Amino acid sequence: MGDMNLRGESLFMKRIIIVLPVVFILTACITEERTPIEGNMPTRRAAIVEVDAAADEPIPIPVAVLHKTANINRGIYEPTEGIYLGAWLAPHYNLRDFSEDAGRSHAVFVHEMDLDGEIPINWVLQCIASLAMPLLVVHPPVAQDYDIPIGNYIAYLAQRVGAFNLPMFVAFYPPGHGMGAPEYAVLFRQARALFLQHAPQVAFVWVAPSVESTHRNPFFPGSDAVDWIAVSLFAGRNAYGFSTDVIEAFEPFYRNFESLHPIMILPLGVSHFSRYDHAYHIPEAAAEILRIYRELASFPRVGLVAYGDIFGIAQTIGDDFSITLEDGLMQAYRDAVANEHFIATPTTTQGNAGWVRSEFIGYYYDGRIYIDVRTLAERDITVPRVTVEIEEETFVDAQLLTEVQFCEIRGVVTLE
């Protein structure tokens, strides 16, 4: 490798508010009964809904339901519980300054580079000083010498990254590489093997082409070559407001990959300026940032969310997703990441058991929690005879179950 003519160096890098009591069911004394709950129901998609405390009639609030499993294989650097705070900033932005502006330290910072590019030593040192893990987004070389095998370029980068001897992430060849699926999958697997050899502390990240991707996507290189799955979530604007509900779009993607790998949002962006009307929409963007971070806390295998502040990160969309130049957006971001579920310091500990998000939501209504009977079926829990009907579906009052808790911080119900 020493005679390679590669220019320079390359980039491095609870509050539990209610525990429901156990109610013993005397089945011989109970007849089957289904009682409908009256009132206007909100959307069936799980969300934390602001409730007017002065309202005369309680409103059923949809909540995500999590149940525990021992069948989750935790990924390298995956937090046992919680979500790493991450940020993708312009290269000139001081990392500590951003953390101070955001009111919290960040566990991960993101920098993109070309395979034949320079390692920004100053940025790496800032990550170290901030106690943050570097995440490198590696693109194909811009000045490749085709007399040199591409594997040599990858090995050379892996050697230089490995020399730092630091835990870090590498998102290798995200969408836009221009390769066909078979060629890409082979190259990704080769890169993974070379990093395992020269930089074993690196967690390798596959960036999905879109939120519609599944593990059957021809570009997916296989679970054995992937440590984390990444996907971009952009709340762009059209003439009528936000063009996509990113949480709703993310849910099927999450269900497809949650049993395979931890998932990162790389990056997240919320538009506050649209090419459609050439107008600023700061209050709407601020509210959407708060909503998205709040709802992402209910997805247990989402392990990292990196907000994308750099300009041009979504030039093809034509919107402005930055937050650092607008006080209203930075305040919304500060409020969003103040949630204790978001982790400010990376950890290398790994647990075995994990939480699974049920495909079926529950409801919090008038001080009680109701669990969909299909969620109980997922856990092989016998359904009590007394049930209630919500939106033409069958639910059980959680007081008839054991070890059910409501977590206010995450806005979820946990079912042991």
Residue 101's H or E segment, with its range, is helix 95-102
**Nearest Cα to 206, choosing from 218, 193, 188?**
188
Q: 120 preceded by cis ω (within 30°)? A: no
Compute, in degrees rounded to 10, the torsion defined by CA atoms 257, 175, 265, 358.
Answer: -20
CB contact at 8 A, 361 and 63: yes
Going by DSSP bridges, is the β-strand pair 362-365/386-390 parallel, antiparallel, or unpaired? Answer: unpaired
Please report the pLDDT score of residue 240 as a whole number.
86
* Distance of alpha carbon 225 from the chain centroid: 20
How does DSSP assign 319-334, residue by residue? -B---TT-HHHHHHHH
Please report the pLDDT score of residue 9 as a whole number.
36
- State how far the Cα of 71 lies from the Cα of 69, in Å rounded to an integer: 5
Residue 372's H or E segment, with its range, is strand 368-372
- State how far the Cα of 302 lies from the Cα of 357, in Å rounded to an integer: 11
Q: Does domain 83-351 have CATH number 3.40.50.720?
A: no
Q: What is the DSSP letter of 235?
A: E
Instruction: Give me the helices (H) in 130-260, please.
Output: 150-163, 181-198, 246-257
Please report the pLDDT score of residue 366 as a whole number.
81
Tokens of 174: 């995200």
Please report the pLDDT score of residue 39 as a whole number.
42
Please report the pLDDT score of residue 247 as a whole number.
97
**Nearest Cα to 202, choosing from 231, 226, 180, 223?**
226
pLDDT along the chain (416 residues), means of 10: 40 31 30 43 43 61 84 85 94 93 97 91 94 96 92 96 95 95 97 97 96 93 96 91 94 94 96 86 96 96 94 62 94 97 83 78 86 88 86 88 81 84
Instruction: Give me the helices (H) in 258-359, please.
Output: 282-296, 327-337
Please report the pLDDT score of residue 400 as a whole number.
86
Domains in the chain: boundaries: 31-71+355-415, 83-351
